[in-house]
């Protein structure tokens, strides 16, 4: 991150997650070691081989879930709910909460923007139910694709596609808040939030904007997506209690836990934040990304490179006390590579502690990176770390100290996110002065 030296600070946090939809509740879960994994509420009983997941159970999609909004903004969001699926609703809600939390009242629209990370968002089957039914009626009880143009397509809602486009969270947030500056949508699965933060920080650092909303939203809880995930990746079997299902870096890990979440932060130039006397929650001081190659991707080198480059880009400002926020898939062959990469980084840093917030909720898709980022920012604020759950028998490659809860959070942290396709990204965050 060479070039101009504008400092980029974090002034607002917003979240919708299995461990809470407000910062106080999220910290209560983290500090108390309270998992967000429980029985399915959105999926029919018996529809999947597993009965538990990490849903944002308190998010109903009603306007109250978006925080304190003025009447015109309430009306605008209500009007557009018909073209927002659940993932988009969660992303917009987290962003509005982050803006409210930042206390931002007025901003030059041309100097404010948005970068938003998401998964590709699957349409729900019921969107086509009437169309399929019409085709079957036309075909005497059998579906024939040749009947689709005449009988099926007219039964599909004309705006259905707008409910599922991955660029729509960015579009809604920018339009609702009249942000006319730089904007982008990133769809790199679990690495999306970290990459979005890196891009937005670069935009501010080079002077192209004063304020950027950076968000992410994702879900593995979906009638089709959940089945797809279970066929593509190892998924943890039911355990008693369900909280024991997510086991990153543990020898008895059996796979991911399906979940959903959204999170957002507000980034500002330090100058802009100081002018309005905004509270600062952290500073983005480094970022780096690498790609692991091969089939399956070998991500050890990519994670080592991302962590090293992010840390190296900070220079002498990096504090002596800090922590690492690991990704932790709970897939043994993947966790071994990440654990070894972190051990390589910390070979001469014996006092650095590692946390893994995914142990509280498993895999949240593109929403996971934002939740993990906010978890460590809260740890900096409260000056202590939360425990890593279920790490009862660490894999041999985990040659580092995992947080058990209560350890000092330090004055900064490195956080890494990576996908099973090999994309990695690391961020270096300092505690604000």
Question: What interhelical angle do 300-312 and 332-345 show, nearest 10?
Answer: 30
* First CA to last CA distance, the chain: 21
**Cα separations (Å) of 65 from 22, 112, 156, 223?**
10, 24, 29, 23
Phi then psi for residue 186, to 5 deg, are -120, 130
Q: Are 101 and 12 in contact (CB under 8 A)?
A: yes
Rounded to a whole number of angstroms, the CA Rg of the chain reads: 21
Per-residue pLDDT of the chain (433 residues; tens, 9 = 90+): 444 578 999 999 999 999 999 999 999 999 999 999 999 999 887 778 899 999 999 999 999 999 999 999 999 999 999 999 999 999 999 999 999 999 999 899 999 999 999 998 888 888 899 999 999 999 899 999 999 999 999 999 888 888 999 999 999 999 999 999 999 999 999 999 999 999 999 999 999 999 999 999 999 998 777 777 877 889 999 999 999 999 999 999 999 999 999 999 999 999 999 999 999 999 999 999 999 988 888 999 999 999 999 999 898 999 999 999 999 999 999 999 999 999 999 998 878 999 999 999 999 999 999 999 999 999 999 999 999 999 999 999 999 999 999 999 999 999 999 999 999 999 999 998 6
From the list 54, 21, 56, 87, the residue with the least C-alpha distance to 362 is 54
Listed in sequence order, the DSSP H helices in 276-331 are 300-312
Task: Please name the residues in contact with 307: beta carbons below 8 A apart, sequence gap of 6 or more.
Answer: 288, 324, 341, 342, 345, 414, 416, 426
Token couple for 411: 């004055």
Listed in sequence order, the DSSP H helices in 152-284 are 168-176, 192-205, 225-232, 270-275
From the list 27, 82, 19, 16, the residue with the least C-alpha distance to 54 is 19
Give the global pTM: 0.94
Residue 2: its pLDDT value, please? 45
Residue 1: its pLDDT value, please? 40
Residue 38: its pLDDT value, please? 96
Residue 227: its pLDDT value, please? 78
Enumerate domains of the chain plus CATH numbers: 10-122+164-430 (3.40.47.10), 125-161 (no CATH)
Angle, CA of 360, 365 and 370, to the nearest 5°? 70
Distance, CA of 288 to CA of 107 (rounded, Å): 29
Q: What is the dihedral of CA 344, 375, 312, 328, to 10 degrees?
A: 30
Count of residues making up the chain: 433
Residue 161: its pLDDT value, please? 87
Residue 3: its pLDDT value, please? 47
Distance, CA of 186 to CA of 417 (rounded, Å): 14
Residue 377: its pLDDT value, please? 98
Token couple for 225: 């997506």
């Amino acid at each position: 991150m060479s070039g101009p030296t504008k400092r980029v600070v974090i002034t607002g946090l917003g979240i919708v997650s299995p461990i809470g939809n407000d910062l106080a509740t999220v910290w209560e879960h983290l500090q108390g070691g309270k998992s967000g994994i429980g029985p399915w509420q959105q999926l029919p009983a018996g529809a999947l081989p597993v009965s538990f997941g990490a849903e944002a159970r308190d998010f109903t999609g009603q306007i109250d879930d978006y925080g304190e909004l003025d009447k015109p903004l309430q009306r605008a969001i209500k009007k557009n709910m018909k073209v927002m699926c659940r993932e988009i609703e969660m992303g917009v809600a987290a962003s509005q909460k982050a803006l409210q939390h930042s206390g931002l009242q007025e901003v030059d629209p041309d100097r404010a923007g948005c970068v938003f990370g998401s998964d590709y968002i699957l349409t729900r089957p019921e969107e086509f139910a009437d169309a399929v039914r019409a085709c079957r009626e036309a075909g005497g009880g059998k579906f024939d694709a040749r009947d689709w143009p005449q009988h099926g397509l007219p039964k599909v809602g004309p705006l259905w596609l707008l409910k599922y486009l991955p660029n729509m969270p960015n579009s809604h947030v920018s339009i609702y808040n009249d942000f006319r500056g730089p904007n982008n949508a990133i769809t790199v699965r679990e690495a999306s939030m970290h990459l979005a933060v890196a891009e937005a920080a670069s935009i501010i650092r080079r002077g192209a904007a004063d304020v950027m909303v950076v968000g992410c939203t994702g879900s593995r809880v979906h009638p089709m997506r959940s089945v797809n995930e279970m066929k593509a990746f190892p998924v943890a079997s039911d355990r008693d209690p369900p909280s024991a299902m997510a086991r990153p870096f543990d020898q008895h890990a059996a796979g991911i836990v399906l979940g959903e979440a959204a999170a957002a932060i507000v980034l500002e130039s330090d100058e802009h934040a100081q002018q309005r006397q905004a509270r600062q929650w952290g500073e983005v001081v480094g970022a780096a990304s690498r790609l692991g190659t091969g089939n399956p991707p070998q991500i050890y080198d990519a994670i080592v490179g991302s962590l090293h480059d992010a840390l190296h880009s900070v220079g002498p400002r990096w504090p002596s006390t800090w922590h690492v926020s690991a990704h932790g898939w709970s897939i043994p062959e993947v966790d071994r590579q990440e654990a070894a990469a972190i051990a390589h980084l910390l070979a001469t840093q014996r006092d650095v502690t590692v946390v893994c917030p995914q142990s509280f909720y498993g895999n949240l898709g593109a929403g996971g990176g934002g939740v993990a980022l906010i978890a460590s920012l809260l740890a900096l604020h409260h000056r202590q770390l939360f425990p890593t759950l279920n790490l009862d028998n660490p894999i041999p490659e985990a040659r580092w100290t995992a947080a058990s809860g209560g350890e000092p959070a330090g004055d900064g942290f490195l956080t890494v996110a990576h996908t099973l396709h090999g994309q990695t990204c690391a961020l270096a965050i300092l505690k604000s002065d």
